[in-house]
Amino acid sequence: MRQTDGSPRELKKAAVLVAGSWGTALAAVLAANGHQVVMWTRNAAQAAEIRDLHVNSKYLPGAALPENLTATTDMAEALLGARLVLFAAPSSAMRQVAAAAASLLEPDAIIVHAAKGFEIDSLDRMSHVLAEELGRPLETIVVLSGPSHAEEVVKQLPTTVVVASEAEGYAEQAQDAFINSCFRVYTNRDVIGVEVAGAIKNIIALGAGLSDGLGFGDNAKAALLTRGLAEIGRLGQAMGASMMTFAGLAGVGDLVATCTSPHSRNWRAGSLLASGLSLDEVLEKVGMVVEGVRTTRSAKSLAARYGVEMPITDQLYEVLFQGKAPREAVESLMLRDRTGEL
């Protein structure tokens, strides 16, 4: 796989912790770039399937994985000698996976995470959780985010993402490891903005799925995306993010990709909810992580903590957890007190 500037790439061992759809797709990018990649999974059958048959049939059915991508259930084996470690666990499992990895990491390993959510009790961002559990300076942790459905990445369809670290040099090393001619990687220093945007867009995608499922049109979806971006920006700014980040790939880019794609588990969950299924039935049917559900709880608490208005999030909360009918939620949004746009 070609580097975009034609310079030779320093090939290294990389480890990817957990073999869900996103971990597997990103592991395939690293392997396509010539790195020796070992995934860790707690599931022995899945490790054997990836190692021996080069497929991950549950999470990315139909995708042929590169030969230099292998898998193990032994975390020490995965992390031994790994110069880049990608944490691709769902946000609910990040602390547990990080705690297990902490004593096994190479001291100079670059730490990257690709999760889109907050820790439910502490409301911590994922970079905080990793810094705390791994005993690393917060500014060295890299987040990878942006409009990037695993199903398209593994097919090497053109994709762009952002890697952000507060300290210079870390995001740049991650950029170097992941970038190629079909996976373009930009750097950014605004970790807060990138993490907040990636998490909150999942709530808006649930809303977009609901809107489509109810048979509403393009006007409603455009309104959700736009007013959703206002909510992301309000919370992000209160937490210390730069507003410019929300106009970028991690912000409006990911919002568009997730709210308009049937690949999105959050969009799908919203559209299934509109069909009258209960939340439990929806989650069972989707069968993969739907981060927006927990994030709706976290965002409601964060909005209260930072004193910001998040009306779409409030209505989603009532639909998901308090049995409010989706049509009533839309009515509540339309009948809010009149206000200015900005």
Ligand X SMILES: O=C(CO)COP(=O)(O)O
Closest to ligand NAI by CB, 2 or 42: 42
Measured in whole angstroms, the distance separating CA 335 from the mean position of its chain's CA atoms is 32
Shortest reach from residue 259's CB to ligand NAI, in Å: 14
Here's the x/- map for ligand X, 262-301, by CB under 6 A: it reads as: --xxx------------------------x----------
Q: Are strands 159-164 and 142-145 parallel, antiparallel or unpaired?
A: antiparallel
Among 149, 234, 294, 300, binds ligand X (CB under 6 A): 149
Residue corresponding to tokens 């020490």: 76
Partners of residue 11 on adjacent β-strands: none
82 contacts 109 by C-beta, under 8 angstroms: yes
Among 173, 245, 258, 295, binds ligand X (CB under 6 A): 258
- What the block records as the tokens of 178 is 């992941």
Closest to ligand X by CB, 12 or 149: 149
- What the block records as the tokens of 82 is 């790994």
Q: Is residue 201 annotated as a catalytic residue, yes or no?
A: yes
Is residue 278 a known part of a binding site?
Answer: no
Catalytic residue from among 12, 201, 221, 285: 201
Sign of CA dihedral 122, 258, 20, 192: negative
Q: Is 195 in the site for ligand X (CB under 6 A)?
A: no
Closest to ligand NAI by CB, 49 or 291: 291
- Edge-to-edge strand ranges of the sheet holding 142-145: 69-72, 36-40, 13-17, 84-87, 110-113, 142-145, 159-164, 183-188
Residues forming contacts to ligand NAI in the complex (CB under 6 A) are 18-23, 42, 59, 88-91, 93, 96-97, 114-117, 148-150, 288-289, 291
Q: Residues touching ligand X: how many (CB under 6 A)?
A: 13
101 contacts 80 by C-beta, under 8 angstroms: no
CA proximity to 50, closest of 37, 263, 153: 37
Q: Which of the choices ligand NAI, ligand X, none does residue 205 contact, using the CB cut-off of 5 to 8 A by kind?
A: ligand X
- What the block records as the tokens of 1 is 């796989």
Site for ligand X in 196-225 (CB under 6 A): 202, 205
Is residue 162 a known part of a binding site?
Answer: no
Q: Is 140 in the site for ligand X (CB under 6 A)?
A: no
Binding site for ligand X (CB under 6 A): 116, 147-149, 202, 205, 254, 257-258, 264-266, 291
Q: Return the active site residues.
A: 201
